[in-house]
Amino acid sequence: MKDDIAREKILVIRFSALGDVAMTVPVVKAFLTQYPNKELLMLSDKKLADLFVGIDRLEFISADLQGDHKGIFGIIKLFDSIRKKYSFHLVADLHGVLRTHLLRILFRLFGKSTAVIDKGRIDKYALTRRENKIFRPLTHATDRYINVFFQLGFKVEGIKEKLRHVITENKLIDKSSLTRKKKICFAPFAKHDAKMYSLDNFKEVIKYFDGGGYDLYLFGGRGAESLILDDWRKQFHYVIKPSVQTDLQSELKIMMDLDLMVTMDSANMHLASLVGVPVVSIWGATHSFAGFYGYNQNPLNAVQVNLSCRPCSVFGNKACWRGDNACMKEITPAMVIEKIEAVLSGL
């Protein structure tokens, strides 16, 4: 019996956007390091499986949220398949939305102990409201994830200590070489318009570094983003062109070889953080104080302007109530360039 408990599996649930799920990776690594006799079942969107490749004692469970597992009946189907296939007693809900609430209720009916994330909605509202903001750094997402394990009876300090020493993938090259050209990746897109820097300004930043002293990379999604970046690659001289369409795992391998990532408040900030690459991030309607800054990134590497209306949104999914998007428009290419040069000079 004791041996069964020692080898207990824990179901961890986190759906949502790529960046949010990416922030769970250092936490689950830290947990497994702190508890070498535990195993994790990571339930997430099937498109994000590559984030968890190679993590010992972690098994990824794919959810097809746009297909087989869409809607209430799809979630019930997902629950039933997990219940029949896996043996576990604890459920850590790192998401806290309707579909995960339903999963927790179902698992509790079958005797599982569950815990759910505290999203700190009141504090986030106070940070983003128009008037009488309470402007202070909020609990980081990784700490909120860890606190779910605390609810299940695990020691927070032990996990946090391991989190501070999580070793990500080794870099592919020796970055101490003075003769090697620095490698910079530019990722100009974000999910919401309020988090997007002007593409014309972003091009000015890239142009500044397109002089032969650097190898440049451009990252974006499919569709319109891919077409824009293809056009940019024709305009610049030192942009490395991908030989094939890259998937998530391929992008992570490329990132491991970088010296610097320049990005918005977006998934690429979190992906670069997973492989220990410094990030210069550009912030508009959102703010690093909301708890979604890149894991282990230097807060001084954020480019942003101080306005009384900032932040007006936690996720950047609201229109600017002033109507002028000043938080982004007041950021000049020179400000971004200066920050990039400062970070590169310290490498």
pLDDT confidence of residue 246: 72
Q: Is residue 239 part of a domain?
A: yes
Q: Is residue 69 part of a domain?
A: yes
Mean pLDDT of 180-207: 94
Ranges assigned E (strand) in the chain: 9-13, 39-45, 58-63, 90-93, 113-116, 182-187, 214-218, 260-264, 279-282, 302-303
Average pLDDT, the chain: 92
* 298-318 burial code (b ≥16 CB/10 A, e <16): eeebbbbeeeeebbbbbbbee
- The least confident of 71-80, 167-176, 309-318 is 167-176
Please count the CA atoms within 13 angstroms of the CA of 195 that sit on its side-chain side. Answer: 23
DSSP state, 239?
B
Position 171 confidence tier, pLDDT thresholds 50, 70, 90: low
Indicate the pairing of strand 260-264 with strand 279-282: parallel
Mean pLDDT of 112-141: 96
Q: Which residue has the higher pLDDT, 24 or 161?
A: 24
Q: Which residue has the higher pLDDT, 149 or 168?
A: 149
Pair (158, 188) in one structural domain: no
Pair (68, 147) in one structural domain: yes
Q: Is residue 176 part of a domain?
A: no
pLDDT confidence of residue 324: 93
DSSP letters, 25-44, are HHHHHHHHHH-TT-EEEEEE
- The C-alpha atoms of residue 305 and residue 310 are separated, in whole angstroms, by 9
Q: How many domains does the chain have?
A: 2
How many of the other CB atoms lie within 10 Å of CB of 278? 21
Pair (50, 154) in one structural domain: yes
Q: Say if residue 3's pLDDT is above 50.
A: no
**CATH code at 316?**
3.40.50.2000
Pair (100, 222) in one structural domain: no
- Edge-to-edge strand order for the sheet containing 214-218? 214-218, 182-187, 260-264, 279-282, 302-303
- For 216-269, how does the pLDDT look when each residue is reduced to its tens digit (9 = 90+)? 999 998 899 999 999 999 999 999 987 666 788 888 888 999 999 999 999 999
Residue 310 is which amino acid? R
DSSP letters, 109-137, are HTT-EEEE----HHHHHHHHSSSS---SP
Q: Which residue has the higher pLDDT, 179 or 104?
A: 104
Position 291 confidence tier, pLDDT thresholds 50, 70, 90: very high
Q: Is residue 170 part of a domain?
A: no
- The C-alpha atoms of residue 216 and residue 13 are separated, in whole angstroms, by 36
> Could you tell me if 276 and 171 are in contact, meaning their C-beta atoms sit under 8 angstroms apart?
yes
Q: Is residue 177 part of a domain?
A: no
Position 170 confidence tier, pLDDT thresholds 50, 70, 90: very low
Tokens at residue 153, please? 């009876």
Pair (210, 283) in one structural domain: yes
Pair (203, 101) in one structural domain: no
Domain boundary among 136, 164, 192: 164
Q: Is residue 111 part of a domain?
A: yes
Q: Is residue 215 part of a domain?
A: yes
Domain range for residue 271? 182-345
- Edge-to-edge strand order for the sheet containing 39-45? 58-63, 39-45, 9-13, 90-93, 113-116
- For 100-111, how does the pLDDT look when each residue is reduced to its tens digit (9 = 90+)? 999 999 999 999
Q: Is residue 174 part of a domain?
A: no
- The C-alpha atoms of residue 225 and residue 190 are separated, in whole angstroms, by 10
Q: Which residues contact 38 (CB under 8 A, 6 or more apart)?
A: 7, 8, 9, 10, 31, 32, 57
Q: Say if residue 1's pLDDT is above 60.
A: no
- The C-alpha atoms of residue 309 and residue 222 are separated, in whole angstroms, by 33
